[in-house]
Copies of this chain bind each other. A is one copy, B any other.
Amino acid sequence: MLPDKPNSYCGIFGIYGNQSSSIITYYGLHALQHRGQEASGIVSAEERENGKIIFNVHKSLGLVSEVYDDNILNNDLKGFAAIGHNRYSTTGASESRKNIQPFVVNYRMGHLSVAHNGNLTNAYILREKLVDDGAIFQTTSDTEVILHLIARSKLNDQVEQVKEALKLIEGAYCLVILTNDKLIAARDPHGFRPLVIGKLNGSFIISSETCALDINQAEYIRDVEPNEMIVIDRDVTSIENLKSFKIHETQPVKKQCIFEYIYFSRPDSRIFGHSVDKMRRKLGKILAKNHPVKDKEDQKVIVISVPDSSNTAALGYESQLIKDGIKAKFEIGLIRSHYIGRTFIIPGQHKREIGVRVKFNIVKGVLHNKTVVLVDDSIVRGTTSKQLVNLIKEAGPKEIHIRISSPPIINPCFYGMDFPSKEELIAYNMKSDIDKIREYLDVDSLEYLTIDELLDAMVEQEPEHFCTACFSGNYPTDINSSINKEVYEE
């Protein structure tokens, strides 16, 4: 993941009714690794011989491949159900260790574990009320608020307790909740983040994306709908008797995060009911249609991507150019290193310049004396783009053009996408003056998709069903309390 790309807060996974729950969750989390690389955790529910239910927990900083081993999965995390979480975070080490999800607590109905993807916009207000009422908090995470709301419900049915709690929270959330005898999934009314239901033999799976079903050879059933709460327990033996509840009586227009299609989700996933690959390819095609590049001497234009995130858009861009009669060829001009772990060091001076060389190799012969179009999905800070351009220049291209398969980012996200501060966003900083950005990057041309073009690409979907706040500033919810939130966070 490029250091200046936005980061989704996490990927979540849950399974009920399978004696290999933790192993299946492990593979699912591996498939969702792109949604969070800082930490990972699995909680499993195990039935002891005496009928007692215990919750097993393993959480640690690191990649899925670093956090678990055979012994942990086979012995420490036994159980008939499990939930898991991958997390991205920028906070300090000691704090973030406590914030690793899933959270697990005991309350009057038994064990309770929660994994959350998203960001609550009224967490601060809810927390203040809970604290006034004597609640103690172990973390700064908004997810802990949900636990307290469930535990404090005076209702006596666990499903009703969760529903009561969900009615109180606002913002973006996809949740998997594990109790002694249930797996509960929920998606906020706007449906900001994706959440899907799968089936593996007799057991049911909940996952952020379908790629985590595919790795387990599980079948995709359908999405968890915005405003829907799903309950899976022993009684649920077929798709027909999945228990589904509405969270709120009235449901707002859905507002799915369009950045999931642009960058977050894996191209081989199906989210919001559509193939990511197909949507991303469409972005590339519309980009080519409206923002083509031609070689002045009518030679083949070389289309390259920043692997792996913009491969699909670049392939779409190439095919549209050809369709429109422009000579073009997709090439792998940049090769991404497989050997950059989380802890790769950049010693010596000129760290910045060498950083990009360590991550990417450039295949000079492909670019030399050619008109090159670099298709990327977004520009955040602009620093990596600048270094990539410098790298490409070493190959001696005729011209360099950049095409971005999304509009300029100028606003913060309050629904779980971790952009740098406004001041670090190049498009905000340069007041959306694209020519100034082009000048900074020192390329022959630079063009972005407009918001309308972006929404045009969402074939078979309504434009108003997407949140485009990071581009447009139109936030679908009240965000005043979100801003206060920073008061109690470091």
Residues of A within 8 A of B (CB): 20, 23-24, 26-27, 30-31, 33, 37, 54, 56-58, 63-66, 68-70, 73-74, 76, 94, 104-108, 112, 131-132, 134-138, 147-148, 151-153, 211, 214-215, 217, 266-268, 275, 277-278, 308, 311-312, 315, 319, 329-332, 335-341, 343-345, 347-348, 354, 357-358, 361-366, 394, 490
Contact = CB atoms under 8 A, between A and B. Distances in A.
Nearest to A73: B347
B339 A268 contact: no
Contact of A107 (B73, B134, B151): B134
A73 B349 CA distance: 13
A150 to B, nearest CB: 8
Contacts of A214: 357, 361-362, 394
Nearest to A275: B365
10 contacts: A33-B337, A63-B339, A105-B136, A106-B136, A107-B131, A136-B148, A268-B362, A311-B335, A312-B363, A315-B330
A132 B108 contact: yes
A94 B57 CA distance: 7
Contacts of A24: 348
B335 A308 contact: yes
A113 to B, nearest CB: 11
B69 A345 contact: yes
A275 B74 CA distance: 48
Contact of A27 (B30, B354, B362): B354
Nearest to A134: B152
Given A106-B131, A330-B330, A23 B347 contact: yes
B76 A363 contact: no
B112 A134 contact: no
Contacts of A312: 332, 363
A27 B148 contact: no
A134 to B, nearest CB: 4
Nearest to A362: B268
Contacts of A308: 332, 335-336, 338
A94 B131 contact: no
B268 A364 contact: yes
Q: Which of A104, A136, A354 has the most CB of B within 10 A?
A: A136
Contacts of A358: 27, 30, 215
B215 A339 contact: no
Contacts of A267: 335, 361, 363
B54 A106 contact: no
The 9 closest A-B pairs by CB, nearest first: A134-B152, A105-B136, A23-B348, A106-B137, A108-B131, A136-B151, A65-B344, A33-B339, A268-B361
A211 B69 CA distance: 35
A58 B94 contact: yes
A73 B340 CA distance: 17
Contact of A366 (B148, B277, B335, B363): B277
A343 B105 contact: no
B31 A361 contact: yes
A343 B70 CA distance: 11
Contacts of A338: 308, 336, 338
Nearest to A69: B345
Q: Which of A134, A277, A308, A354 has the most CB of B within 10 A?
A: A134
